[in-house]
Structure 1
Amino acid sequence: MPNTHVPAAGEAMPAAEEMHIITGRFSRRLILAGLASLPAIAGATAALAMPKAHPDAELFRLERELDALQSRMDMLEKTQNQLHAIAEKAAGLKPVHPSKWEKPSMPDDLKEMQSTWFRSVNFSAIDLDIEKEAARCPELVRAWNRAYAEEQASVKAAWDKYKARLDEQQRLIGWTEKEAEFDDVVSDHWDVGRSILEIPARTIEGMAVKAKAAKSIGLLQLGGEAGDALGFISADIERLAGGAA
């Protein structure tokens, strides 16, 4: 067994051993005190390490939201284009759209007949009988106009039937449902873009976010509304110039 000296009752403890015990107790107090203060130290350290919030932090946050919505729009648009192509194929032969239909030209001799009749009508007369005057128009001219109107109606009817088939095919393959989702995303994209423009920019970086947003939501291509975007950005320029002064 180790020959450890145990002081007898009343015997003085050696100075070195007493100092060791006192130092140990003091060290434990320091350790406990240090552990207790760790949360405060950590909080102070984190505060020092955390960078100061950027003056345009909200604009940057909204920019990320706008970018995410733009990506969603692009993906939905691609999907919609693919589904639309499938629906078009299933709908059958696509007729000419009424707006693309070219009106046939009236023959010159009929034009002259119509002009002669038109000049003979006194449109300022109080008792003008429109139906009677129309009946006086040469029959060849009236026949040509009837044929034109019938052809125009036929073009529209053919398109309406095709459009009904196309709508049904789009519904069957889910295009209609996706289109509603796309419209919602477009609306959200517009709202976020407008929000960005309405927030005052405090730095050049913030102004760049606003310029990008104006382009992203198409404001610069919307004629009069482009003035809104330029107005917001002009206000930022004036604000920054005033701060620099």
Structure 2
Amino acid sequence: MPNSFLAAAEGMPDVNRRRLLNLTGAGLALAATAASVRNASATLVAQDAEHPDAELLALDKEMEEAHSRMETASESNSALSDKIEALLPPRPLHPTDWKSRPMPAHLKQLWDEALKNVLFVDAAKGDWQPEPVSAWHDANDREKAQIQAAWEEWSALRDERYREHNYEAMEEAFNGLSGEEWEIGRRIFAISAHTLEGMAVKIRAGERLGLENLADPSEAYLSIAADIKRLAEGGAA
């Protein structure tokens, strides 16, 4: 996430960028202050029921724990994937990377001459090409089929090895943890922040979710922008 809301606004959709830049100067100053404390540990703030942002601080801790579980699962899955890939035979050429070789000049000349004299009925049957040209095309087709077969054989072996290690279940578990973290983030952005500590919770949540990499991270930005405006106007709920 950018270190200031002016920088953040540059990468936002126009409507969200305008909303953020239209905030008061005091609001932008508060945004910069919030960004400077985004890495502060929530444990430094008293998380009791009297704190104006007690709910956000509690969710921050909950999200931190969920994020840690997700990262642990990701590291385990990556390590297992690397182990499986290392045991596989060399990766063959992917069929989409295979390119037909250019037709030799003498065959191209034969093809051009035959094309000039081809009759419609012969063209419809598809047997008008000279035998050497047809043989060249057949050889190309065989090579393409061999590339496809080699890839399918390797892919089947790769899938089998992953199944043997129950990798799909591990990925499903990771996806579940990712969904859990995402849901906590949605809850955080749905709650109004009343202090800089609460705004810092939202900034950390956006960073953990990688919202700056999404096409439209407006939910997080608009939530924080609303907090800035409220604080700039005197902290009214």
> TM class, shorter-chain normalised?
0.5 to 0.7
Shift in alpha-carbon separation, 1:240–1:167, aligned structure 2, 3 A? same
Could you tell me whether the CA contact under 8 Å between 1:56 and 1:202 is conserved in 2? Answer: yes
Change (3 A) 1:57 1:135: farther
Query: How many residues in Structure 1 have an aligned counterpart in Structure 2?
Result: 184
1:144 positional shift: 6.5
Using the size of structure 2 for normalisation, the TM-score is 0.61
State how far apart, in whole Å, the 2-side matches of 1:179 and 1:132 are: 52
- Distance (Å, rounded) in 2 between the aligned partners of 1:231 and 1:114: 65
The answer to whether the aligner puts 1:64 opposite 2:61 as a matched pair is: yes
1:238 aligns with 2:229: yes
* 2:88 pairs with 1:91: yes
CA RMSD across the alignment: 3.7
Q: State the identity %.
A: 35
SS at match of 2:233: helix
State the 1:88 CA deviation.
Answer: 2.0
CA shift in 2, pair 1:112/1:228, >3 Å: farther
Cα distance in 1 for partners of 2:141, 2:53 equals 62
In the alignment, the residues of structure 1 paired with residue 110 and residue 61 of structure 2 have an alpha-carbon distance, to the nearest angstrom, of 67
Matched, 1:103 2:99: yes
1:158-199 alpha-carbon deviations (Å, 9 max, x no partner): 233222212221222232221211111111111112221222
Question: Partners in 2 of 1:184 and 1:178 — Cα distance?
Answer: 10
TM-aligned CA distance change 1:202 to 1:244, over 3 Å? closer
Structure 1 residues 28-177: aligned runs within 5 Å: 53-98=50-95, 101=97, 103-104=99-100, 106=102, 132=124, 151-177=143-169
Query: Is the CA contact (8 Å cut-off) linking 2:63 and 2:185 kept in structure 1?
Result: yes
Say whether 1:207 aligns with 2:199. Answer: yes
- Structure 1 letter corresponding to 2:210: G
The whole-number CA distance in structure 1 between the counterparts of 2:218 and 2:136 is 49
Does the CA-based 8 Å contact 1:97-1:156 persist in structure 2? yes
Q: Specify whether residues 107 and 56 from structure 1 end up closer, same or farther in structure 2 by C-alpha distance, changes over 3 A only.
A: farther
Tell me which amino acid in the other structure corresponds to 1:204.
Answer: L
Distance in 1, Cα, partners of 2:178 & 2:200: 22
Query: Higher RCO, 1 or 2 (CA under 8 Å, sep at least 6)?
Result: 2
Per the alignment, do residues 218 and 140 of structure 1 end up closer, same or farther by CA in structure 2, a change over 3 Å counting?
Answer: farther
What is the DSSP-based 3-state SS (H/G/I as helix, E as strand, rest coil) of the residue aligned with 2:163? helix
**For the residues of structure 1 that align with 2:164 and 2:104, how far apart are their CA atoms?**
50
* Corresponding position of 1:45: none
SS at match of 1:53: coil
Unaligned runs of 5+ in 2: 1-46, 113-120
Query: In the TM superposition, what is the alpha-carbon distance from 1:210 to its structure 2 partner?
Result: 0.8
How far apart, in 1, do the equivalents of 2:134 and 2:171 lie? 45
Alignment partner of 2:172 out of 147, 171, 180? 180
Equivalent residue, structure 1, for 2:182: 190
Shift of 1:84: 1.4
Aligned 8 A contact 2:98 2:144 in 1: no
Determine if contact 1:83/1:170 at 8 Å carries over to the other structure.
Answer: no
Length-normalised TM-score, structure 1: 0.59
